[in-house]
Chain A
Amino acid sequence: MSIISEHGFRQDGRKPHQIRNLNYKLGVYSQADGSAYLEQGNTKVLCAVYGPYEPKQRSRLLEDRCIINCQYSMATFSTNERKERPRGDRRSLEFARLMEKAFEEAILTENYPRSQIDVFCELLQADGSHLAACVNVGTLALADAGVPMRGLVAAASCACAPGGLACVDVNSREEMGIVPRLTVATISGQDAVVMAELQNRLHKNHLMVILGNARKATAHVHSCLEAAVLTHIKAAIGLPSDSDVERDS
């Protein structure tokens, strides 16, 4: 079956350029320095941020800036088929390194020399766009921890349907087989791309179309994340907020 029906809708009723609903909660856990929970459709991620703190391994310490340590973990019950191990496989290590590079660009690392910031993501339910959801929840948790950043890192994924049509924010049924998928993260939903990951083969004529649509999707995601952080700050300092209106995208 194809991703898009002949009437122009996807299987879950979205148009190709529409992202899924984002539900969030900041400050889930009090023991972490920052924590966030994000639902992007049926993909549910929990993130905790610890730090900046003094690293225990002196060899990793950098004199001029802090180091970012990310961990990506999938719960064994998060997929329909049970996973044997939550982390340690090649894909989770690759995702962790990609997230580290993205956050290193956004966080003002030179403010914290000889320090370490830990970002731990736990995927509770998997329904596609895992890397994008982890980057989004990580940036919410970093904002909750009060880590200064150049802007919120917003990530979105984009698949190329046959014929070069771009579908953003793919779910697990669209992430199948040989469909090319691009995950892009930008700062503040603008032009600076801090992460790009492409799976499967993509014709070069379709690349700019997919990239443009993915960047537009990150702008949509960024407006949701910005509203989330703004609502959380207003609630924290006692200002009235439109929490129920702004919660869903």
Chain B
Amino acid sequence: MEVQLSEAEKVFIIHGAQEGLRADGRGPLDYRPIIVQTGVLATTNGSARVQIGSTDLLIGVKAELISVDTAVYRNRLNFFVDCSANATPLFAGRGGEEFADELSAALDAAYDNNYVLPDLKKLILSPMHAWKLFVDIVLLQCDGNVIDAAGLGVKAALKDTEISKVIVRPADEGKYTIDLPDDNTVWKLDTSRVPLFVSVNRLGTAKIVDNSLTEEACTRTSVWIAVAPQFVSDINHNQNNQCAVKRDGSIITFMRQCGGGTLEIDSLEEMISIGLKAVHQLHEALNQRLMNENWLIEKPLSTFLQ
């Protein structure tokens, strides 16, 4: 998370970005190659691995059955980010906790509504039992743009998540017991509305997405935006499943400025439009990727051996 650049190197990078050319030859709105794999861990209900350039994240989703008073229970995802020291020695011990808290706070805020995951209500099983979903992110390698990778990985891991179906029986004294059925069936979450993150960064007067570590050192300020897709059927409250679903717009579930510096309203609006354009492409590419996975060829459990 720390790159020492001289002033001349920063000037070179900023002038290149303002000319529409970056140090690795990308344009302002280009992403580095993104690799997404799901089902990479055997001990989780859902898992994913995301690489953007050299940035590498491992995401695991675990479902735990807990006993709570579900009337007052906060039915949300629980995010935990662990900055592994594999990324940089600065993360040894408790060094990465500040950055990890920043990431998990952003993810918490983006998912803190009833729109993005409609299946959250199915996690409530009885007045005293509920599934609790833990989303754990391990940052293995850091080459900039961790928030975009986290957004992609969380959506892929939630898509992969399988939760066991359980039988709820009333017991004595108003209590309930939980049993597992014999056929061991599972159900999956509806992830069509899950948001993705994009980080738009100001380098001089240029606005770029997917900044690498060297570009992060030159960035004056960034805006993190989480965007969830919106469908026609949502607007019309159309219950007819035969209706063709068409993407009509998007809902911004989270926006935050990171880093110092001030922003003009015009610059902020331009950054938002750039972010929305980028995140639409991310949504389409990720949905296509998650539908086209070929398990036999890719061997996701051996993802680190490839």
Contact = CB atoms under 8 A, between A and B. Distances in A.
Interface stretch (B41-49, B183-191, B198-206, B288-296): B41-49
A69 interface: yes
Nearest to A119: B85
A120 interface: yes
B140 A29 contact: yes
Contact of A125 (B43, B136, B143): B43
Interface string B188-216: 00000000000000000000000000000
B228 interface: no
A96 to B, nearest CB: 10
Contact of B140 (A50, A82, A122): A122
B248 interface: no
Contact of B85 (A30, A73, A125): A73
B13 to A, nearest CB: 19
B43 A80 contact: yes
Interface stretch (A32-40, A60-68, A175-183): A32-40
A125 B42 contact: yes
A37 B42 contact: no
Where chain B touches its partner, the secondary structure class is mixed
Interface residues of B, number: 33
B62 A82 contact: yes
Given A71-B93, A77-B62, A29 B136 contact: no
Contacts of B86: 29, 32, 35, 46-48, 120, 122
Contacts of B41: 77, 124-125
Nearest to B84: A122
B24 to A, nearest CB: 14
A28 B87 CA distance: 12
A193 interface: no
| Among B41, B42, B138: residue with most chain A CB under 10 A | B138
Interface in A1-60: 23-25, 28-32, 35, 37, 39, 42, 44, 46-48, 50
Nearest to A25: B305
Interface stretch (B52-60, B168-176, B266-274): B52-60
25 contacts: A29-B54, A29-B56, A35-B86, A37-B305, A39-B305, A44-B304, A46-B140, A46-B304, A50-B88, A75-B60, A75-B82, A76-B82, A77-B43, A77-B47, A77-B134, A80-B43, A82-B62, A86-B82, A88-B93, A88-B94, A118-B92, A120-B84, A120-B89, A120-B92, A122-B86
Question: A-B pairs with the 7 shortest C-beta distances?
Answer: A77-B60, A120-B85, A48-B86, A37-B304, A76-B136, A82-B62, A77-B44
Interface of B: 41-44, 47, 54, 56, 58, 60-62, 64, 80, 82, 84-89, 92-94, 134, 136, 138, 140-143, 302, 304-305
